[in-house]
Chains A and B, each alone.
Chain A
């Protein structure tokens, strides 16, 4: 009897392992950027191509950088969360419009609402490479000294905003 139960026993161990595995995120690669200064960029704004924006403009403030694109379906899902976060006034959000057509990006913000103080326009994805963008959307929290403190790959959810982003922003604001 016991020897016939062996496969079942192994299977149960396997199930436990897989169950734990589900809780882990293999994509949660510890980003080498956390704790490092945000890479430098100077890019044109989405709305006004003549004006540029740089991460240095934000020194002394805690802010959120969100990578988005009009072709990104997950961004659509994330958008209401960003609108809520922006409306709460807890932290300024800046957008990085990634590998997009300018008119598509603008139309998207017009149609869906614009949670961003402003969006910068990264047509060829250069800045995305510096920031190690895996996919869209991604979100970074950057502190007053211009150091990246948090990175999220994939859409923000209300839960993540409540449990991770907001407490971190409050802590950084106090610092």
Chain B
């Protein structure tokens, strides 16, 4: 059993709360740094995708989990970043500059998409973002001169300080740097007034206003940051796949992103990465499991959809706090052993209250 004895306010302000946490996070970082030495190319690529989707998930987590704004068309921001990056890379722009531009454009689009948020809430906002998602996808398909239309657009390799990133390992490091930077920045935001303002907007808008929080400004900011991160993820995604087309940024992708944050655990940054691991790892697990299933089921095209859907339903019903929530319970059990009390995390039966009147 471990007890953390607090003597300074800094211990609450710091990211890693004590020596043990610092040790584990440092270990994780080291493991990620040396991964290219041990992992075969295929698994390294999967890990790269986990990092890329993790970045997007962090953005969506900030918006949906911490600011409480529904965004059902989030893949559109990924698409904006991806196409901007493809466009600039083709012109030979260096990576940091093109990434910055991709993020900037996505952020601008994010502010525009967030405009309905200033007037409507909840499901209305969800449908507004859904509509934007469709419109942006259609723009990608129609604006053929820039995006190559429905036939898609090949993406050249990234240029960084003069040398071309065409190997799996160098690009992995770029993604790792971006992922760590995005995570640290998000965590910094959350432990400072801006992050708390986001939470205030989520929990009670009227109260937030009476505390001096300008709703419009913080909602727009949340959309902008979230879209910028999605754009960053999209840009990296474009380089990794080396080919993008409008259907990669459709409603199905948007729902996958939401699935990621809900299964990972809404309201925690850890959840973003756990969700990304789920999203990338599940297809692998399914193909592994296919050997054990009768051929009629294993070969069916719809198997992945059924499994994803079932897991999503199960998570919301049985463990609404997601993978991270379950991990917290396990960790608490381990920390408090043998004094863990069974009712510690028991959910109260909740009754529905109207969200229209929030």
Q: Does chain A bind chain B?
A: no
